[in-house]
Amino acid sequence: MATPSTSQKSLSSITIPPLTPPPQFTLYSHEVAPNPWKVIALLKELSLPYQVKNVDFMNKSEEFLDVQPNGRVPVLIDHNRNDKIVWESVAILLYLVEHYDPSRRLWFRDQDDITDAHQWMLFQVSNMGPYFCQKAWFANFHHEKLPSAIERFTNEINRVLAVMERVLGGQTSAAAAAGGKQRPLQWFVGDKYSIVDINLYPYLEMVPWLNGAYAFDNFPLVKAYIERVAGQKGIREAYKEKA
């Protein structure tokens, strides 16, 4: 009977690790852009595996432009659903809760709550995104200082914060309806943490950089709200990764 050679013995002792499947999602992102961090926070909140491809804004690849003709981040590719491509951060958040949050832990079943959630998500898109980013641009990156532009967008940020302070304080009929009576609100919709709050956080987190360290002094309820959101699992893990 033949005796196994030394090389055959060595080969037989090798343990081949199982192949690791690729992550379910690919996320095109950028380290400092606010919108991708909403998506990362939700992926972490739902414990969904993903890989990140950071985009060079100064040299956008054809690969990236093929999946996002508008050339903006984030973009999500869902490899478990025929490589479905979704772009625009709010659309991605809605897609993820539709397909991967069956218990609606971070979304809603009541139609009025859904309407209110859409309202606040569009508030972020139409008010926070443009004004906050324009303040960042004119205060930090524009080739010349334009005090009138900086003042305008500083004031707009304060106006947005005042709206949120009023609602969180239960000082509107909408807030009263959401809470059952006029009382301070913990969350903006349905008395629970949801993607509405995830969607707001990356812009609110920027406020001290945009408007100064004391920017929240006149908005204590907004400040307390941001601290509540910052303590949530997905946000906490996402911003630890960002750091």
Predicted pLDDT of residue 117: 98
Q: Which residues of the chain, if any, have pLDDT below 50?
A: none
Number of other CB atoms surrounding residue 142 within 10 Å: 13
Looking at residue 33, its pLDDT comes to 95
The answer to whether 196 touches 108, Cβ cutoff 8 Å, is no
Torsion of CA 31, 53, 196, 43, to 10 degrees: -120
How far apart are alpha carbons 52 and 145 in whole angstroms?
Answer: 35
DSSP the chain: -PPPPHHHHHHHTPPPPPPPPPPSEEEEE-SS-SHHHHHHHHHHHTT--EEEEE--TTS--HHHHHH-TT--S-EEEETTTTTEEEESHHHHHHHHHHHH-TT-SSS-SSHHHHHHHHHHHHHIIIIIHHHHHHHHHHHHTSSS--HHHHHHHHHHHHHHHHHHHHHHTT-SHHHHHHHSSS---SSSSTTS--HHHHHHHHHHTTHHHHH-TTTTTT-HHHHHHHHHHHTSHHHHHHHHHH-
CB distance 41 to 198 below 8 Å: yes
* Cβ neighbours of residue 49 closer than 8 Å, sequence gap 6 or more: 23, 24, 25
| pLDDT tens readout for residues 162-219 | 999 999 999 876 555 555 567 789 999 999 999 999 999 999 999 999 999 999 999 9
Q: What pLDDT score does 219 carry? A: 98
